[in-house]
């Protein structure tokens, strides 16, 4: 019975519910020292003074904690001081209980909005509000409770922890004679190299998977070693995102399609400051400059395809072997670009910031269907609008393009008489909240557009489904390109045939008719993202490909450091939006 466990704060919060029926509070734990006995006595007196002594049961020491957890509906421990981990939280999650605790110490790494309600330190009103909502709202209790077991499994599954331990030990263990080429790759960088990510994105203007992928990968990598992101914009400037330096260069050829294939010769000066160059969208002019510079000064250059293409030396020569490595975001990408059999190619996958993108118990789920992405014909948005019933709301979040304005006009025509909203200026906070309230997110990409044009790579990954799934929202996607790699059909969402509005309508209708099953899918989707799609894992695979030493690769990143700061940033929406 320690006073920093927050018993007094809990009793004061419960006092605001004294007139609410149907709740009883169990406080388990006995006094083992004299001061603890005095503290326990003060709690009994406080409960009596607050008028709730008849509803608060002091159970003393109990050997049957697992039975108590099985019989309870909510677990609350509003700590006033941090504790290193908090195994009691994990046990409550494993029992399927929503957890209410202070956003402090180890609890920040255990409890998120998929399975509980973290509250600010010293905020009794938030504590009382959280308990009131959970006591009165059985549906919310059950939804958060369903998120508990997968979260506990992710944190403390014995098999997974053994695999993690084996991975760490294998990185530092002394092994026998190694292959000379492998040994050379592993030992290339024993100290932290400087990495520069080069991307032809318009910083601050676009919402899209390619932009989000590049920024989040570079941001996470910056927590392990010096990292710079070189991008383009209308004005030259430098910015900082956490520890990531963003160098924005002015596009010297900002007209027509060169707006999306930017170039600035002065970028050479920036490129020479890095030890490793990582080009996103290698079929562009910026990547050509980086590749040529790398060959001239013997600087390793790596590529990652994110779906865009422009002008460059690749139109004249096969330069794939000029790259030190090809780091693909999906198996589909690796096969499409002919690198499946190349030893220097590998799949690094995609990632999601699961602290920022997570369920929010304060946001009510609605019947809203959501699309997020560029408003281009190969995204198949027209089939989604055709599939919508007139009574069901659809929100389309994206960005139009000058060369495809006729498609946007066609979408507005199809949306007439339906509850379709177009949001063309969503920031990151708006996007996250849309994910959190939607019934499902739909990505209806197609190979053959409504105009008969064939698009060979409608998706190379699918960042939108991953972010939605991280928020506990099931996803519906089409069976094209990389999308089936992301979704377990019937478990975390649905995979349907492309160009088929009827198939989309059927799955949307099923989710609306089976709300509880839809929320269970959302919980399974969040669990899948936690297991497979962390940015830490993507960064680790990148650094291994770069040839960075195991010691540097084993440095913790966003899952182990800076969580309190990032929690506070999420509350204030301080992130710089893309």
Give exposure, 87-109, as e/b (b: 16+ Cβ within 10 Å).
ebbbbbbbbbbbbbbbbbbbbbb
Cα distances (angstroms) measured from residue 28 to each of 69, 89, 524, 558: 11, 14, 32, 34
Has residue 175 been placed in a domain?
no
The predicted model scores a pTM of: 0.72
Q: Please state, in angstroms and rounded to a whole number, the distance separating the CA atoms of residues 193 and 201.
A: 24
User: Mapping DSSP to helix (H, G, I), strand (E, B) and coil, where does residue 131 land?
Assistant: helix
Q: Please state, in angstroms and rounded to a whole number, the distance separating the CA atoms of residues 294 and 297.
A: 5
Has residue 385 been placed in a domain?
yes
CATH of the domain at 493: 3.40.50.2000
Do residues 485 and 495 share a domain?
yes
DSSP alpha helix (H) spans, 415-500: 428-437, 463-470
Phi, psi of 187 (to 5 degrees): -100, 10
User: Could you list the pLDDT tens digit for every one of the 578 residues in the chain?
Assistant: 888 999 999 999 999 998 888 899 999 988 888 899 999 999 999 999 999 999 999 999 989 999 999 999 999 999 999 888 889 999 999 999 999 999 988 888 899 888 899 999 888 899 999 999 999 888 888 888 888 888 888 788 777 677 667 766 765 654 444 444 444 444 466 678 999 999 987 655 545 567 888 999 999 999 989 999 999 988 899 999 889 999 999 988 876 666 778 889 999 999 999 999 999 999 999 999 999 999 999 999 999 998 777 888 888 898 999 999 999 999 999 999 999 888 899 999 999 988 889 888 778 899 999 999 999 999 999 999 999 999 999 999 998 888 889 999 999 999 999 999 999 989 888 999 999 999 999 999 999 999 999 999 999 999 899 999 999 999 999 999 999 999 999 999 999 999 999 999 999 999 999 998 998 899 889 888 988 898 988 998 999 999 987 666 666 554 444 444 444 444 444 333 33
Do residues 379 and 451 share a domain?
yes
Q: What is the pLDDT of residue 189?
A: 61
Do residues 25 and 134 share a domain?
yes
User: Mapping DSSP to helix (H, G, I), strand (E, B) and coil, where does residue 347 land?
Assistant: strand
Do residues 296 and 274 share a domain?
yes
Do residues 376 and 252 share a domain?
no
Has residue 220 been placed in a domain?
yes
Do residues 269 and 141 share a domain?
no
Has residue 322 been placed in a domain?
yes
Give the tokens for residue 453: 């044009």
Has residue 557 been placed in a domain?
yes
Give the tokens for residue 522: 């959302």
Do residues 280 and 385 share a domain?
no
DSSP alpha helix (H) spans, 267-320: 267-271, 285-297
Q: What is the pLDDT of residue 197?
A: 97
- Number of Cβ within 10 Å of residue 17's Cβ equals 17
Do residues 524 and 541 share a domain?
no
State the greatest distance between any 2 C-alpha atoms of the chain, in Å, as a whole number.
84
Q: Give how many domains the chain has, as a whole number.
A: 3
Place of tokens 């053959």: 448
Q: What is the pLDDT of residue 549?
A: 77
Q: What is the pLDDT of residue 530?
A: 84
User: Mapping DSSP to helix (H, G, I), strand (E, B) and coil, where does residue 168 land?
Assistant: helix
Give the tokens for residue 576: 């710089």
Host domain of residue 342: 192-351+534-572
Q: Please state, in angstroms and rounded to a whole number, the distance separating the CA atoms of residues 573 and 570.
A: 5
Do residues 388 and 506 share a domain?
yes
Has residue 168 been placed in a domain?
no
Do residues 50 and 76 share a domain?
yes
Do residues 313 and 445 share a domain?
no
Has residue 357 been placed in a domain?
no
Q: Please state, in angstroms and rounded to a whole number, the distance separating the CA atoms of residues 334 and 347.
A: 7
Do residues 258 and 148 share a domain?
no
Phi, psi of 8 (to 5 degrees): -65, -40
Has residue 164 been placed in a domain?
no
């Amino acid at each position: 019975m320690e006073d920093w466990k927050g018993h007094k704060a809990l009793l004061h919060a419960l006092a605001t519910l004294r007139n609410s029926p149907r709740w009883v509070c169990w406080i388990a734990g006995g006094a083992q020292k004299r001061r603890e006995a005095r503290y326990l006595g003060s709690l009994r007196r406080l409960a009596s003074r607050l008028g709730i002594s008849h509803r608060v049961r002091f159970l003393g020491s109990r050997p049957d904690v697992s039975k108590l957890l099985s019989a309870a509906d909510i677990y609350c421990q509003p700590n006033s001081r941090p504790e290193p981990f908090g195994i009691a939280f994990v046990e409550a999650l494993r029992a399927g209980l929503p957890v209410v605790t202070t956003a402090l110490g180890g609890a920040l790494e255990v409890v998120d909005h998929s399975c509980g309600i973290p509250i600010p330190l010293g905020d009794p009103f938030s504590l009382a509000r959280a308990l009131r909502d959970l006591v009165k709202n059985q549906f919310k209790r059950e939804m958060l409770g369903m998120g508990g077991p997968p979260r506990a499994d992710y944190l403390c599954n014995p098999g997974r922890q053994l695999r993690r331990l084996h991975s760490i030990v294998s990185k530092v263990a002394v092994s026998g004679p190694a292959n000379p080429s492998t040994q050379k790759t592993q030992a290339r960088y024993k100290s932290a190299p400087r990495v520069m990510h080069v991307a032809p994105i318009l910083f601050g203007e676009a919402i899209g998977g390619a932009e989000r992928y590049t920024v989040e990968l570079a941001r996470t990598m910056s927590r392990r070693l010096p990292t710079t992101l070189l991008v383009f914009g209308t004005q030259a400037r430098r910015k900082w995102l956490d520890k990531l330096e963003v160098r924005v260069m002015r596009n010297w050829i900002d007209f027509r399609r060169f707006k999306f294939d930017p170039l600035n010769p002065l970028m050479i000066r920036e490129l020479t400051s890095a030890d490793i160059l990582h080009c996103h969208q290698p079929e562009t002019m910026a990547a050509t400059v980086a590749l040529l510079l790398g060959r001239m000064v013997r600087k390793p250059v790596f590529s990652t395809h994110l779906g865009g293409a422009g002008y460059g030396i690749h139109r004249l020569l096969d330069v794939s072997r000029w790259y030190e490595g090809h780091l693909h975001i999906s198996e589909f990408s690796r096969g499409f670009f002919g690198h499946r059999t190349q030893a220097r190619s590998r799949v690094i996958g995609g990632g999601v910031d699961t602290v920022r993108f997570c369920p929010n118990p304060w946001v009510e789920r609605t019947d809203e269907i959501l699309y997020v992405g560029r408003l281009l014909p190969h995204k198949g948005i027209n089939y989604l609008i055709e599939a919508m019933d007139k009574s069901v709301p659809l929100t389309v979040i994206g960005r139009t393009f000058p060369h495809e304005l006729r498609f946007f006009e066609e979408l507005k025509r199809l949306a007439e008489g339906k509850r379709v909203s177009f949001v063309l200026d969503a920031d990151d906070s708006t996007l996250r909240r849309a994910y959190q309230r939607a019934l499902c997110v739909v990505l209806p990409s197609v190979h053959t557009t409504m105009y008969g044009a064939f698009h060979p790579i409608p998706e190379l990954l699918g960042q939108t489904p991953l972010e939605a799934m991280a928020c506990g929202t099931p996803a519906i996607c089409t069976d094209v390109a990389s999308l089936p790699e992301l979704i377990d059909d019937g478990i975390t969402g649905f995979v349907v045939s492309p160009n088929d509005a009827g198939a989309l309508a059927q799955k949307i209708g099923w989710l609306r008719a089976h709300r509880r099953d839809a929320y269970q899918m959302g919980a399974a989707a969040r669990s899948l993202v936690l297991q497979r799609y962390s940015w830490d894992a993507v960064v680790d695979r990148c650094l291994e490909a770069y040839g960075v030493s195991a010691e540097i690769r084993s440095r913790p990143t966003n899952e182990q450091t800076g969580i309190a700061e990032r929690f506070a940033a999420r509350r204030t929406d301080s992130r710089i939006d893309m």
